[in-house]
Amino acid sequence: VYSQILKQLYPDVPVIAGGIEASLRRVSHYDYWQDRLRPSILVDAPVDMIVYGMGEIPVTQIADRLAAGESLSSLTDIPQTALLLPADVTPAPDNDNIILASFETCLRDKRSQATNFKHVEQQSNRMHGATIWQPHGNKTVKINPMLPPMSTKEIDASFDLPYTRLPHPRYRNKTIPAWEMIKHSVNLHRGCFGGCAFCTISAHQGKFIASRSKESILREVKQVTRMADFKGYISDLGGPSANMYRMGGRDLSVCEKCMRPSCLHPKPCPNLNNDHAPLLDIYKAVDSLPEVKKSFIGSGVRYDLSMHESGNEQIDRTNRRYNEELITRHVSGRLKVAPEHTIDHVLDIMRKPSFKQFYEFKKIFDRINRTQGLKQQLIPYFISSHPGCHEIDMAELAAETRDLNMHLEQVQDFTPTPMTVATEIYYTGYHPYTGEKVYCATRPEEKQSQRRFFFWYDPAYRADITRALQRLHRPDIIRKLFPAYRDPRQNDRNKSKKRR
């Protein structure tokens, strides 16, 4: 809609789309709200080009070349851009060019859509990816490779620009909940190598971490301390995942060949440097500023990263200290972590570690709270109706979290978003990497039957949960959730025995 208006107002001016919505719709994709497969947004919107991912470098390259007199139609080689071109320019497939199944083929064959996604995710997570082409009728979408991660100098130059740190003037005198949450926060890095199946961060920012310098971070913290409503508390020193600052491969030549979507799943990469020392140094430097009373970590923490034994005693000792300092000094009453589920086969599809690691981290958390005289909460995030999750899996989750005395609040029902492996499974019914069929709760009643297990402690859900567990032949879980429960059918059987 926006690009149509712009084209009507300024027909001769190039229109370039960017941001996460355009970025994640650069190839054929499933749209949950319309419940259909849609073509690349380049087909639907009258834009001349898409800049996908984090766009500082591509957008300045475009501006420089246009300013030098080049036509927009000649800018077909800029990294991290996508364009709609005539179909006859599509090359033969080779190591540098991957030709996806056409949009029309994907409409007919869901397996082709799933296979397409595997290629797109792998190339998006490569340091030096191939060019991707996808035919759409008599046109073809060309997606130039993603740029390598920005250097510290480059990312500092972006973050050090003179931002106002204020909402748009049209929101003056209005409360913006999201703004209230993040206005005293500082972002330390970009990218995430977790590769979670339901998350779009790596598709947009890449899996390689681009970290700011300590000096740039401290400059922004000082800027925050000068805000009129600052009371001495930094709400978050974080990032897409809170504790990936300055992390990556020890041997970058290995990373340059890697096509793994996750550095942590199915187990941490042996080449991964998970040293938390640089992050501890940032925390210490920020807390040393006289204007800062305390800094908190509001972003989600990957405990599987901080608890992973690297084999290097110094790093492992530092990482144990990180967990201690995080819990002792940087929790604002509640620490967010994201186990997402408790059942191993669901976690495997999610690309998350076993729930056993949550138990191990909780022991550390509880011990430190006990020895330090703290009364903090560990807040876990969970997802229902994720691909691979059955109703009985949610019942098991409910029983396990009840044993932990957790009344869950931070929960969500899986909502498909473009360009995630979980969404491709949801739409196609097949896992893109194995080709195997995977069960998905897609109907509203299926999704509701899973979601209600989060709230076993709410009397409003008790009858429905009890009936569901009776249908699933799991009276053992009923007794776990509701110890006072007595099966009325058992009472009838007992009366029958007495009469006999």
Instruction: Report whether pLDDT(490) > 70.
Output: no
Q: Are strands 377-384 and 411-413 parallel, antiparallel or unpaired?
A: parallel
Q: Residue holding tokens 């690309």?
A: 351
* Pair 378, 290 in one domain: yes
How far is 384 from 350, CA to CA, in rounded Å? Answer: 12
Position 495 confidence tier, pLDDT thresholds 50, 70, 90? low
How far is 250 from 315, CA to CA, in rounded Å? Answer: 13
> What CATH number does residue 334 fall under?
3.80.30.20
Q: Is residue 14 part of a domain?
A: yes
Q: What is the pLDDT of residue 496?
A: 60
**What 3-state class would DSSP assign to 246?**
coil
Q: Helices (DSSP H) in 45-146: which residue ranges?
A: 56-67, 103-108, 110-124
* Pair 73, 197 in one domain: no
Position 106 confidence tier, pLDDT thresholds 50, 70, 90? very high
* Pair 161, 137 in one domain: no
Q: Is residue 167 part of a domain?
A: yes
Instruction: Report whether pLDDT(459) > 80.
Output: yes
Q: Is residue 446 part of a domain?
A: yes
Instruction: Report whether pLDDT(471) > 90.
Output: yes
Instruction: Report whether pLDDT(109) > 80.
Output: yes
How far is 125 from 96, CA to CA, in rounded Å? Answer: 15
Position 31 confidence tier, pLDDT thresholds 50, 70, 90? very high
Q: Is residue 499 part of a domain?
A: no
Q: Is residue 494 part of a domain?
A: no
Position 99 confidence tier, pLDDT thresholds 50, 70, 90? very high
How far is 126 from 377, CA to CA, in rounded Å? Answer: 38
Q: What is the pLDDT of residue 134?
A: 98
How far is 326 from 316, CA to CA, in rounded Å? Answer: 15
* CA distances from residue 335 to 74, 359, 431, 462 in whole angstroms, order as listed: 50, 15, 33, 29
Q: Is residue 360 part of a domain?
A: yes
Position 410 confidence tier, pLDDT thresholds 50, 70, 90? confident
Which of residues 111, 143, 175 is at a domain's end? 143
Q: Is residue 498 part of a domain?
A: no
How confident is the model over 58-79, as a mean pLDDT? Answer: 95
* Pair 69, 122 in one domain: yes
* Pair 353, 373 in one domain: yes
Q: What is the pLDDT of residue 110?
A: 98
Of 19-28, 180-189, 453-462, 488-497, the range with the lowest mean pLDDT is 488-497
Q: What is the pLDDT of residue 498?
A: 61
Instruction: Report whether pLDDT(494) > 60.
Output: no
Mean pLDDT score of the chain, rounded to an integer?
A: 94
* Pair 32, 97 in one domain: yes
* Residue pair 12/66 in contact by the 8 Å Cβ criterion: no
* Pair 407, 262 in one domain: yes
* Pair 187, 130 in one domain: no
How far is 75 from 62, CA to CA, in rounded Å? Answer: 7
Instruction: Report whether pLDDT(492) > 60.
Output: no
Instruction: Report whether pLDDT(499) > 70.
Output: no
**What 3-state class would DSSP assign to 369?**
helix
Which of residues 89, 124, 143 is at a domain's end? 143
* Pair 134, 168 in one domain: no
How confident is the model over 343-368, as a mean pLDDT? Answer: 97
Choose among 231, 269, 277, 238: nearest CA to 252: 269
Q: What is the pLDDT of residue 484?
A: 83
Per-residue pLDDT reduced to its tens digit, 264-321: 999 999 999 999 999 999 999 999 999 999 999 999 999 999 999 999 999 999 999 9
Instruction: Report whether pLDDT(25) > 70.
Output: yes
Q: What is the pLDDT of residue 489?
A: 60
Which of residues 123, 143, 163 is at a domain's end? 143
Q: What is the pLDDT of residue 434?
A: 95
Instruction: Report whether pLDDT(491) > 60.
Output: no
What token pair was written down for 369? 């709270």
How many structural domains comprise the chain?
A: 2
High-pLDDT (> 70) share of the chain, %: 97
Q: Which helix (H) or strand (E) holds 348?
A: helix 344-350
Per-residue pLDDT reduced to its tens digit, 148-187: 999 999 999 999 999 998 899 999 889 999 999 999 999 9
* Pair 326, 214 in one domain: yes
Q: Which are the contacts of 367, defined by CB distance < 8 A and separation ≥ 6?
A: none
Instruction: Report whether pLDDT(130) > 60.
Output: yes
How confident is the model over 359-376, as a mean pLDDT? Answer: 96
Position 493 confidence tier, pLDDT thresholds 50, 70, 90? low
* Pair 241, 333 in one domain: yes
* Pair 85, 163 in one domain: no
Q: Which domain holds residue 370?
A: 152-489
Q: Is residue 206 part of a domain?
A: yes
What token pair was written down for 310? 């690297």
How confident is the model over 126-153, as a mean pLDDT? Answer: 96
- The CA-based diameter of the chain, rounded to the nearest angstrom, is 99
